[in-house]
Structure 1
Amino acid sequence: MKFAYKFSNLLGSVYRKGNLLFTPDGNSVLSPVGNRVTVFDLKNNRSETLQIEGRMNITCIALSPDGCTFIAVCEDGEALLCSLVSRTVLHTYHFHAPIHAVRFSPDGRKFAVTRESKVLVFHAPGKSREYNPFVLYRTFYGPYDETNCLDWTSDSSAFCVGSKDMNTRVYGARRFSNLIVYSMSGHNDEIAGAYFEENSLDLYTISANGRLNVWECDTDLDGLKPYEAPDEEQKQVEVPEGEESEETPDKVVKMTKDEEAKMVDKILYKRTARHTYKEARGEGAGFSKITSTAFHKHTHILVTGFQDGVFFLHEMPDFNLIHSLSISDQSIASIEINKSGDWIAFGCGGLGQLLVWEWQSETYVLKQQGHYNNMNCVVYSPDGQHLATGGDDGKVKVWNTSSGFCFVTFTEHLAAITGVIFNQKGQVVLSSSLDGTVRAFDLNRYRNFRTFTSPRPCQFSCLTIDPSGDIVCAGALDSFEIFVWSMQTGRLLEVLAGHEGPVSSLSFSPSQELLASGSWDKTVKLWDVFENKGARETLNIMSDVLSVTFRPDGGELAVSSLNAQISFWDPQLAKQVGSIEGRHDIGYSRKEQEKITAKKSAFGKAFNTVCYSADGQCVLAAGRSKNVCIYSVANQMLIKKFEISCNMSFDGMEEFLDRRKMTEFGSLALVDTEEGKDVSLPGVKKGDMSSRHWKPEVRVSCVQFSPTGRAWAATTTEGLLIYSLDSTLVFDPFDLEMDITPSNVKSTLAKGEYSTALMLSFRLNEQSLIQEVMENIPIPDVEVIINNLPDIYVDKLMAYVATAIESTAHIEFYLIWARQLLMQHGPRLKQRSQSIMAALRLLQKNVTRKAEDLGKLCDHNKYSLQYLLSLGRCKRKFVTQVGSDSGLDQEEEEGSSSEAELAMESLSDSDSDLLMDNT
């Protein structure tokens, strides 16, 4: 088994904080998710989280006009220059202060950053031959408070900056004789947005209290005159050709009196209109601040989002209301409009919601929302195509593993979800909750068709279902009992009593009629549910049991306990066969407010969740730390450790004490540094005594291996992390000898020795060579070759065919191979099904997905052809009727019919092009 698992995607969290961005083609949205960035491809209906991690949560991002590079800035001011082509970090730069806005100029030569009360303009990376990509061009001063927003003119000659001092300032990006800096007031609250008109210096400014000013400039963009320095100054400041000097603030903003006297034609702004949003919201609506704005220069559409979830669309400059809608009751944190102006993206940080809305048709292009509270549990469907998650928000969400999107959400539960599980066919997902119910949801009709309850109210902490799908079991947190229901009738069959503490975990044996239950009373009980004989065996554990799970073949039971040990038991003999000490593998970490060392705090940590790999050779374990461990069961040793996050915005990330955060009064996290305010209670946010404030702690609540063995998932504080095998690993030889080379394999294939060439290619195990050999074998020879193939090569061929079907265009060819493999080696494959279970499930997953995709395509083509045929009949009938009514002679009728046929041919050509594009 390979262990080259790498981070591949992040589900369950679509937006956290920061600004959204559209790519230049308008088909994808970039959304900051914690310290990562997710790209939502709206055209192909896929999502991908980049393998780029910041040191803290990302607060703002900027994309270059060519769409190749983007800049992501974290909470502490660390900037990452990343490539969207290679998905890598190219350079890092630290601003040493929080950044509110970053934006590239339209020509792509510069980008501006709002830092504190200044604006820094840099040369764009890659546009000049510099070793350091972040080359400061000029620093602009003027605002008396923090700068909030900025916007560039269409020709990149000037930019405007809105500030918390309620003023908006226009700066020249280059030195102009009639524009240095122009300040505009007229607002009584901080500026939420400032935008230039297209190809103009006219300006719109919006304040947070809902006031909009329209400013008209008396000078066009072409009227900005470059500043010509006197001859003496040119001699004093010599700049090499092709470079620009970093000027001092005095030279940037201030000029001498003689120079000001020469500026007789300075640009002037005049306020031509003043609008307020109170009229649009109505007199009865309460006051709500503006939290985000966006302006599309070409269509003159202004979108404004409010704190209560309402957003407006206005046509500028007349301020005509187009739409007034509400997303939710949470604040809209970010708004972005794509290049064509058709789609508008909204981000709500409170709900973790991302919406893309087409305002002309008033339809959703994308509507995704993750769990806005912690995720507790995750489970793969039997074919590996879907993932079900449950969270503290009482919702059950089902995700598509290939697209990364949630396609159904069940909200019937009234409390936190504690367990989710699929039935054997994958058509039903069951969930247990602290509200005292176990619910079954149908994934075909998307409804809650069965609800299981106990005779008296109790909180369910765990859930399982037997392999046949007939028996549902749930453990109680408060009554220490296990309830058994019938899946068909929903009737309570039995109540299993015997535990003396809360039941923490349940697991059914895949091969035997045996139920294992773990409890905080330091025991694991094995029940024979079908014979109603009570507990068959009781396994005594040295500490409280946190998790139990059976091996996929049912021959072994893994038990995780509070003393950070994983013990392995034989369920038939009730005998312990091994154990793993994992205290030192969990990892040391300390919280900000803890006064003990990280090593001391590790004594209270253990593996809260354990699961077996698809082949049963390894176990995956995780708990209240940032590490996920893979252990070998046979050798009882650690194979690999994964660090799920390096986000310092979470608590419990630091291993050592940071002396920079220590003062004479103790840790800086325990000291109230705000002056003039009373010291607040612990856990209360400074300045607001009614709101609680805490840093989320990094932890892993559940891990699950994919049935295909190619990936595993973990529910963490960041979201649902998916780790999969690296597909770029191409050379992994098997039973290699000196004479087995690619040239020898190809020569054997050319001689017509197909069976030998196939086995040699598998021994060399180079994917491109295997593909070349297989696709050169004639179809009539496939049956004979597979019949004489040894079992060890049958398994390898099965795994390769299962993987190849996912991406190949020769679907029928590989299905012939798969059919012959299953028909000729079916009985022997069944005998060793446990070792090849991952390959079989991968084959099932890919064949099912191809069947669904082709079925949708065939249905679409069938309906398109029916539409074209009906349209042709209607057209021919109409032409015939017109010809008969007008009394045309035979020649004219023939001419008119030929014209109709030409029209039909042109119509069919255009529609057939659309049909071919879909195909």
Structure 2
Amino acid sequence: MKFAYRFSNLLGAVYRRGNLSFSKDGDSVISPVGNRISVFDLKNNQSETLPVSTTKNITCVGLSPDGNLAILVDEDGAAVLVSLVTRAVLHHFHFHKPVSSVRFSPDGRKFVVTKENVALMYHAPGRKREFNAFALDKSYYGPYDETTCIDWTDDSKCFVVGSKDMSTWVFGAERWANLVYYCLGGHKDVIVGCFFEQDSLDLYTVSQDGALCVWECDTEPDGLLSRGPRGPSGPQEKEAEEREDGEEREEGEEGEPRGEVIRGKADGNKQKEGARMVRYKRQGKHFFNKEGDFNNLTAAVFHKKTHLLVTGFASGIFHLHELPEFNLIHSLSISDQRIASICINGPGDWIGFGCSGLGQLLVWEWQSESYVFKQQGHFNNMAALSYSPDGQYIATGGDDGKVKVWNTNSGLCFVTFTEHSSSITGITFTSRGFVIVSASLDGTVRAFDLHRYRNFRTFTSPRPSQFSCLAVDSSGELVCAGAQDSFQIFLWSLQTGRLLEVLAGHEGPVSSLSFSPVQSVLASTSWDRTVRLWDMVDSWQTKEILRLTSDGLAVTYRPDGEELAVATLDGEICFWNPQTATQTGSIVGRHDLQMGRKETDKITAKQAAKGKSFTSLCYSADGQCILAGGQSKFVCIYNIAEQILMKKFEISCNLSLDAMEEYLDRRKMTEFGSLALLDEGVGDGDTVALSLPGVRRGDMSSRHFKPEIRVSSLSFSPTGRSWAASSTEGLLVYSLDGALVFDPFDLDLDVTPASVRRQVRRAEWAAAIVLAFRLNEAALTKEVLEAVPHDQISVVCGSLPDIYVEKLLHFVGSALERSGHLQFYLTWAQRLLTLHGQKLKNRSGSILPIILSLQKSIQRHFDDLSKLCDWNIYSIQYAVALSNQKGIKRPAADSLSEAEEEEEEEEDLDVASVASVEGVDMLI
């Protein structure tokens, strides 16, 4: 088994904090998710999380105009330059202070970063490889408080910066004789957004109290007068230039490279002889119709081509206005939480909203007034997960009581069940994959139908109990749940919904349940240091009692049912033979957890790790390895036969989470204690606002906490090609990287692409396939396979060596998932399984993941085809009924021909459906 699992995707989290951005073509949304960024393709309905990450949560993202580069800045000011084409990190940089916003110029030559009360302009990274990709050009000083927002003119000649001191500053990006800086007032609260009009220096500024100011400039962009590097030639101008040069030669902030320093003063520009200075005049001031006294304006964006202003408020309401007339176009409430970020795509028809409180991301098409995209993760931690039998879906349950189902191909959630009223503790699919069963602390176990998307069964106990674990047998008939307060196990029938039995015997809370995949035996473990095996056939009696050395936390069966793994509180994993009730081995994994030190801990991380243990176990598809995770940032894979650690995965490097650092940071210690324990209210809308006495503003009792890194649940995909972990960050999916460029098998000097194509031209199909697999290039193998005539597939399959049958079957399964040649690849799979079925059966352990992967591909195509067939049939029936209703009289010959065509179309659809069904039945 290979262990080259790499980070593949992050599900269950779509937006956390920071600014949203649209791609250059306007079809994708780039969203910060913790210390990573996710790209949501709205046209193809796909999501992808980039494999790059920062050390802390991302607060702002700057996207280059060509869409190839992105600058990610985290909470501490550490920046990463990322290529969105290659998904690779190009450069690291540190600004040493928190950064509020990053913005590229429209021509892509410069970008401005605002931190504290200064705006720093850098040369944008070029196409060539550079030693220092962040070269400081100028530093602009003017605001007295922190800067909040940036905007550029269309010609990249000037930019504007908004500040918390209620002022807006216009700076020249180049050396202009009639514009160095200009300060605008007129607001009574923090500036949220400042925007230039299209091809103009006219400005719009929006403040937090809901005020909009319209500023008119007396100079066009072409009226800016360039000033040479040596300045004007007059004596007075030379003296002024020397004074300015003396200031410009000052060094920037500590740790910054040297660059020009532009210092502004609030009294405006100095009048220079021979140049008419740029001046602004306020043309109007408008106020938004806010509902409520504390409904602050939190986000704003302006689309220059359509003159559309979109504003979001703390109550979840957003407004669309047309400027400069300030006409209200639309107003809608998307939630009751604060809108943290707004973006608009290039054409101006899609608007993206991010709500950090709910972790919600949605895209709204304002012209048709409809949602293009709407996703929301779990509000609290994700507690449980389960793969569907075909590996196509993942069901997750969270502490918010929601059950979500995710598509592993698209990475998006397509259904959410909200019937539970408390935390989900266990979730699983039935054997057929059409029913999801979940257990909760609200005292109910619910079954959900994936055909009609409804809760069709609700199981309860005679007395209210909090269910802590769940299991469903291989037939899908028996559902059992363990209680953590009554120490009992309740057994129901899924078909009738009746309570069949209450299993009593444990002397502590039941922590985990697992059904044997081959027998009607239930294994349960408890805090009473025992594992009990219950016989489901013989009156539900206790079959065996296995004594443990510590409290049992997790139990699971091997896929063949011949072994039982139990995780205990002392950090060990014990392996038992359920037939003989003897222990076959154990793994001490306490030292592999490596728990970090929490900020409130009084002991070291080494001492704290002694009390940690694994809380989730999962066997691999072949049963040779076991996956273990717990209260740590590491997930371990152990070889069971050798009882050694094969690989350890670090699921997160985000220092914004608790228990990540091994040692305490002394820089955070003050005379009042750790900074992490101090409640700092800065009044930014999502924290406590400290106000004057007698004024009630904010909620002083709101909860402030730092989430702790942990892995709550693990599961291997039935195909064995990937595994998923539900953690504090979300649902992390790791998969085998199958896109290797060159990974040959039994390579020789005569194995070249030319020799492979030579065998194809000679019609030596079997030899060509063998050579292609020895070279092991996917594109060449696909070219050879699709060159084989359809009537020669049986002959080629019969003449293949046994060692290449398994490789060919695996390639057919992966190609079938992406290819449109369904019948062609289904014929390959059918011939291989028919001719080599007995030989493959002898290697069932290694061939099982390949068969499951093939079944997953066929099932997906079967679902798509069946929906398409149903749609076509209903469309034809609707068209016929509509024509009959209108009483359209057609000639007999025409009606006969059209009827024949409809029958032929229906026959073709039925043939396609039958072919898909036969393919699925054949593999099953």
TM-score by length of 1: 0.88
Is 1:169 matched with 2:191? no
Partner of 2:71: 71
Contact 1:556 1:569 in 2 (8 A): yes
CA distance in 2, matches of 1:30, 1:227: 39
Using the TM superposition, give the Cα deviation of residue 177 of structure 1 relative to its aligned residue in structure 2, in angstroms. Answer: 2.0
Deviations 1:78-128 (A, max 9, x none): 111111111111111111111111111111111111110011111111178
Query: How much is the aligned-residue C-alpha RMSD, in angstroms?
Result: 3.3
CA distance in 2, matches of 1:776, 1:498: 64
Partner of 1:104: 104
Q: Which range moves more in the overlay, 733-742 or 202-211?
A: 733-742
Deviations 1:583-622 (A, max 9, x none): 1111241112323221111011111100001111111101
- Counterpart code for 2:104: F
Q: Which range moves more in the overlay, 128-137 or 721-730?
A: 128-137
Instruction: Find the partner of 1:840 among 847, 851, 876.
Output: 851
Partner-residue secondary structure (3-state), 1:836: helix
Partner-residue secondary structure (3-state), 2:648: strand
Deviations 1:2-56 (A, max 9, x none): 1111001100000000000001110000000000000000111100000110010
CA distance in 1, matches of 2:536, 2:676: 53
Partner of 2:794: 783
CA distance in 2, matches of 1:502, 1:665: 41
Q: Which runs of 5+ in 1 are unaligned?
A: 240-244, 881-919
Q: 1:198 to 1:859 in 2, by over 3 A?
A: farther
Partner of 1:696: 707
Partner-residue secondary structure (3-state), 2:271: helix
Q: Which range moves more in the overlay, 835-844 or 367-376?
A: 835-844
CA distance in 1, matches of 2:841, 2:479: 27
CA distance in 1, matches of 2:809, 2:634: 34
Partner-residue secondary structure (3-state), 1:801: helix
Q: 1:872 to 1:410 in 2, by over 3 A?
A: closer
Q: 1:557 to 1:115 in 2, by over 3 A?
A: same
Using the TM superposition, give the Cα deviation of residue 761 of structure 1 relative to its aligned residue in structure 2, in angstroms. Answer: 4.9
Partner of 1:155: 155
Partner of 2:603: 596
Partner-residue secondary structure (3-state), 1:260: coil
Q: Which range moves more in the overlay, 565-574 or 755-764?
A: 755-764
CA distance in 2, matches of 1:512, 1:737: 49
Partner-residue secondary structure (3-state), 1:430: strand
Instruction: Find the partner of 2:376 among 353, 369, 374.
Output: 369
Q: 1:662 to 1:873 in 2, by over 3 A?
A: same
Contact 2:526 2:552 in 1 (8 A): yes
Is 1:2 matched with 2:2? yes
Contact 1:177 1:263 in 2 (8 A): no
Q: 1:728 to 1:439 in 2, by over 3 A?
A: same
CA distance in 2, matches of 1:671, 1:372: 25
Is 1:723 matched with 2:748? no
Q: Which range moves more in the overlay, 24-33 or 832-841?
A: 832-841
Alignment of 1:12-27 (within 5 A): 12-27=12-27
Partner of 1:894: none
CA distance in 2, matches of 1:505, 1:80: 43
CA distance in 2, matches of 1:459, 1:761: 57
Deviations 1:196-230 (A, max 9, x none): 11111111111101111111112211222223513
Alignment of 1:766-777 (within 5 A): 766-768=777-779, 770-777=781-788
Using the TM superposition, give the Cα deviation of residue 867 of structure 1 relative to its aligned residue in structure 2, in angstroms. Answer: 11
Alignment of 1:514-663 (within 5 A): 514-662=521-669
Using the TM superposition, give the Cα deviation of residue 730 of structure 1 relative to its aligned residue in structure 2, in angstroms. Answer: 5.4
Q: Which range moves more in the overlay, 594-603 or 416-425?
A: 594-603
CA distance in 2, matches of 1:83, 1:517: 50
Partner-residue secondary structure (3-state), 2:635: strand
Is 1:311 matched with 2:322? no
Partner of 1:436: 443
CA distance in 1, matches of 2:881, 2:197: 48
Q: 1:471 to 1:868 in 2, by over 3 A?
A: closer
Partner of 1:476: 483
CA distance in 2, matches of 1:171, 1:226: 14
Partner of 1:61: 61
Instruction: Find the partner of 2:860 among 807, 828, 849.
Output: 849
Deviations 1:432-490 (A, max 9, x none): 00000000101011000111111110001111111111111111111111111001000
Contact 2:203 2:215 in 1 (8 A): yes
CA distance in 1, matches of 2:657, 2:377: 19
Partner of 2:180: 180
CA distance in 2, matches of 1:137, 1:766: 47
Using the TM superposition, give the Cα deviation of residue 851 of structure 1 relative to its aligned residue in structure 2, in angstroms. Answer: 3.4
TM-score by length of 2: 0.87
Question: How many residues are aligned here?
Answer: 862
Is 1:265 matched with 2:276? yes
Contact 2:484 2:509 in 1 (8 A): yes
Deviations 1:608-667 (A, max 9, x none): 100001111111101011001111111111111100111110111112343444567765
Deviations 1:755-783 (A, max 9, x none): 45545654565545544543444433322
Is 1:818 matched with 2:829? yes
CA distance in 2, matches of 1:858, 1:225: 67
CA distance in 2, matches of 1:477, 1:705: 27
Partner-residue secondary structure (3-state), 2:846: coil
Q: 1:841 to 1:227 in 2, by over 3 A?
A: same
Q: 1:524 to 1:730 in 2, by over 3 A?
A: farther
- Counterpart code for 2:348: G
Using the TM superposition, give the Cα deviation of residue 821 of structure 1 relative to its aligned residue in structure 2, in angstroms. Answer: 2.1
Alignment of 1:680-759 (within 5 A): 689-729=700-740, 754-755=765-766, 758-759=769-770
Q: 1:612 to 1:128 in 2, by over 3 A?
A: closer
Q: Which runs of 5+ in 2 are unaligned?
A: 249-256, 689-696, 892-924
- Counterpart code for 1:513: S
Partner of 1:45: 45
CA distance in 2, matches of 1:33, 1:365: 20
Contact 1:553 1:834 in 2 (8 A): no
Q: 1:370 to 1:757 in 2, by over 3 A?
A: same
Contact 2:471 2:515 in 1 (8 A): yes
Contact 2:72 2:80 in 1 (8 A): yes
CA distance in 2, matches of 1:540, 1:147: 64
Partner of 2:908: none
Partner of 1:192: 192
CA distance in 2, matches of 1:259, 1:612: 75
Deviations 1:293-312 (A, max 9, x none): 01111111111100010111
Q: Percent of counterpart pairs with the same letter?
A: 61
Q: 1:650 to 1:809 in 2, by over 3 A?
A: same
Q: Which range moves more in the overlay, 340-349 or 286-295?
A: 286-295
Contact 1:178 1:263 in 2 (8 A): no
Is 1:397 matched with 2:399? no
Partner-residue secondary structure (3-state), 2:532: strand
- Counterpart code for 1:703: L
Partner of 2:141: 141
Partner-residue secondary structure (3-state), 2:330: strand
Using the TM superposition, give the Cα deviation of residue 66 of structure 1 relative to its aligned residue in structure 2, in angstroms. Answer: 0.7
Using the TM superposition, give the Cα deviation of residue 354 of structure 1 relative to its aligned residue in structure 2, in angstroms. Answer: 0.2
- Counterpart code for 2:462: P
Partner of 1:230: 232
